[in-house]
Amino acid sequence: MSPPFRYFFVHIVYLRPFSEIEPLVASHRAFLDTCLKDGLLLLSGPLAPRTGGLLLMRGSDRGQIETLLAGDPYAKARVARHDLLEFQPVKACPELSGLLGGG
């Protein structure tokens, strides 16, 4: 039996200067709020310096996450790309221990 979730780090890479990204930040964060509400986004935040961001996501498979991320305002505007790294958590601090074993 496969675990109910697969986990992904998503590296958002800005393809344009931040001055072109900044007008889309509010709509991008609203998109992330929906992902949080749906239980697919676990953590998110910008990189320092502002060259992109990182997301920790979970889903049933890679295709689900890729399809979801295609709806990100950054992707729609073609100002950023989303690089996915799938991984299987095996160790976690107590606050994140629910990720172990896929659930």
pTM for the model stands at: 0.89
Q: Per the omega criterion (within 30 degrees of 0), is the bond before 4 cis? A: no
Locate 44 and state its tokens: 């998110």
Q: Per the omega criterion (within 30 degrees of 0), is the bond before 49 cis? A: yes
**Domains of the chain, CATH where assigned:** 6-89 (3.30.70.1060)
pLDDT in tens, 57-76: 999 999 999 999 999 999 99
pLDDT(33) > 50:
yes
**Residue 101: what pLDDT?**
63
Mean pLDDT of the chain: 93
